[in-house]
Amino acid sequence: MSNCAIVGINWGDEGKGRMVDLLTRDYDVVVRYQGGGNAGHTVINEKGKFALHLLPSGIFRGGVVNVLGNGVAVDCESLWNELQDVIAQGVSITPENLKISDRASLLLPWHRDLDSLEEARLADKKYGSTKQGIAPFYSDKYQKKTVMAGELLYPEKLWEHLEGILEWKNLTLEKVYGAKPYTMADLRAWVADFGEKIRPFVCDTGAFLRQAQAEKKSILFEAQLGSLRDLDYGIYPYTTSSNAIAAYAPVGSGLPSVRLDEIVGVVKAYSSCVGEGPFTCEWFGPEAEKLREAGNEYGAKTGRPRRVGPIDIVATRYGVQCQGATNIALTKLDVLSYMDKIPVCARYELAGRQTDDFPFPAVLPDAKPVVEYLDGWQCDISGVRRWEDLPQAARRYVEYVEKEIGCRIGYVSVGPERDSIIIR
C-alpha cells in the first residue's frame, strides 16, 4: 500500500485537517510529524465540529492508529485538555488508537512563559507568536535541554534529568527576564497533573511503524502549517520553529527510511495568513473584510482575524516546489462565489521588474503584487460533486491555477464537510 504526506503549500490554515479527515478512509495509520499545539485543524464530520491542535486528524476513524511522532512538540497539558474535549464529544481515544513517540520531546511549563516574555520584550518588533511555547521548546530540543516523553516511563531518571535542566533554565528566567523561577515541587506537580495522564499513550512508535510497514499497512503523514512557515524554506524569521515540509516527514515520524509515494499539497483558493511577516498579496479595508467574512477566516486556536488576499501564484508555485507535491487539493473554492471578477496575484514586481520567482526573505517586504482578473461564476457551488457540474468559469479558475503552479489539482473542495469534495 502507498505512503502519502498531506502538507500545506501556503502559510497554513489551507484545510489540511479537512483533507486528512477525508483521506484517512484509505489509510491504516496517521502520523503527525512536526509542530505543536500552536495551530488548529478544523474538522467537520458526522461526529461534530472539532478544532484539533495536537491530535492527528485520523482520530475520528475507527481502526485507524494515530501517532504523534518524535518531531512533534508534546505539550502534556494542552494534549490532555484536547483529549478531554474530543472524548467529551463522543470520540473514543485509547492507547490502541493514539500512540505518542517515546522519542518526542516534552514542551515544559516554562516554554510557554518564555514565549510570552520574549514577545513582550520585542514589543512592536514581535514575531506574532501564538505563545504556546513552540520556539523556546525547539531551541531547547536542539540544545538538548528538554526531556523525552519516554522518560515519563522511568521516573527516577526523569527527576534527575529535570533537576539539571531546571537549574540552567532558572538562570534565564531570573537573570534575563526577571521572572519567577521554577522549583522541583512545581515540576513534580506538573508531571503528576499532566505527564501521568499521557504516560499510558507513550511507547516505541518507531517499532510500531516498522511493524506496520512490514505488514504493508498504508501510512498517512500529516503536517502542521505550510511551506512558507517552514523553518528553512519559509519567510524566516516569520516561520515556525520546525520543518513543515514533506521531506521532514520520514525524520519526524519515526520511519527515517520511508519513501513517500504521494505528496498531497493543500492550497486555498485565495490567501490567508495568521500573524506577522510579509504577505505580498494582502488586502485591507472593506474588500478584505468581505473575503474574511465569506471564508470565516478567524484562527481556530486564537480566534484572531486572519490576514487575507487573492491567491498568490508566485508563493504557491514556490510552496509546491518546496514540498515536491504530486497532487493538489484546492480548498474553499465556494468562498469565491460572491465575486464577479476573481483577482489573482500573478507575478511580483521587485526592484523595477516583474518576476515569477519567490524572493529571498529579506527583500520579500519590497515585492508588490501584479494582479490579474479571471471571470467569476456568482452562483452557489457548495452542492457540486462532479467536475463537469462546476460552472465553466470555476473550472477555468482551477485550470488556470493548475497550469501556473505546475501541479495537477486532483481534489477541489467546495465546503468544510467531509463529503463537500470534487475528485477529478
Of 37-45, 97-105, 350-358, 367-375, the window that binds ligand GDP (rule: CB under 6 A) is 37-45
Residues 6+ apart with CB under 8 A from 46: 418
Q: SS3 of 10, please?
A: coil
Among 51, 72, 9, 375, smallest CA distance to 252 is for: 72
Give the number of residues in contact with ligand GDP, rule: CB under 6 A: 22
Answer yes or no: are the C-beta atoms of 89 and 50 closer than 8 Å: yes
Residue from 7, 10, 18, 314 touching ligand GDP (CB under 6 A): that is: 18
Does 8 contact ligand GDP by CB under 6 A? yes
To the nearest whole angstrom, how small is the minimum distance from the Cβ of residue 324 to ligand GDP? 19
Q: How far is CA 203 from the centre of its chain?
A: 24
Q: How far is the CB of 420 from ligand GDP (least distance, A)?
A: 6
**Residue 212 belongs to what H/E stretch?**
helix 205-214
* Three cell numbers written together for 55: 491530535
- Cβ proximity to ligand GDP, 12 vs 195, nearer residue: 12
Sort 49 into a burial class: Cβ within 10 Å, 0-12 / 13-18 / 19+: exposed
Q: Does 41 participate in binding ligand GDP (rule CB under 6 A)?
A: yes
The interface with ligand GDP within residues 334-373 (CB under 6 A) comprises 334-335
Rounded to a whole number of angstroms, the minimum distance from the CB of residue 60 to ligand GDP is 14
**Can you read off the three cell numbers belonging to residue 139?**
531551541
Among 36, 37, 40, 369, binds ligand GDP (CB under 6 A): 40
How many other CB atoms sit within 10 Å of the CB of residue 157? 13
Tell me which residues in 43-62 interact with ligand GDP (CB under 6 A).
44
Bond into 237 cis (ω within 30) = yes
Annotated active-site residue 41? The verdict is: yes
Which residue in the list 28, 41, 75, 140 is annotated as catalytic? 41
Q: Is there binding between residue 309 and ligand GDP (CB under 6 A)?
A: no
Shortest Å distance, C-beta 421 to ligand GDP:
8
Residues in contact with 411: Cβ distance below 8 Å, sequence separation at least 6, in sequence order = 19, 264, 327, 328, 329, 330, 421, 422, 423, 424
State the residues that interact with ligand GDP by CB under 6 A. Answer: 8, 12-18, 39-42, 44, 300, 331-332, 334-335, 413-416
**Active centre residues (catalytic):** 13, 41
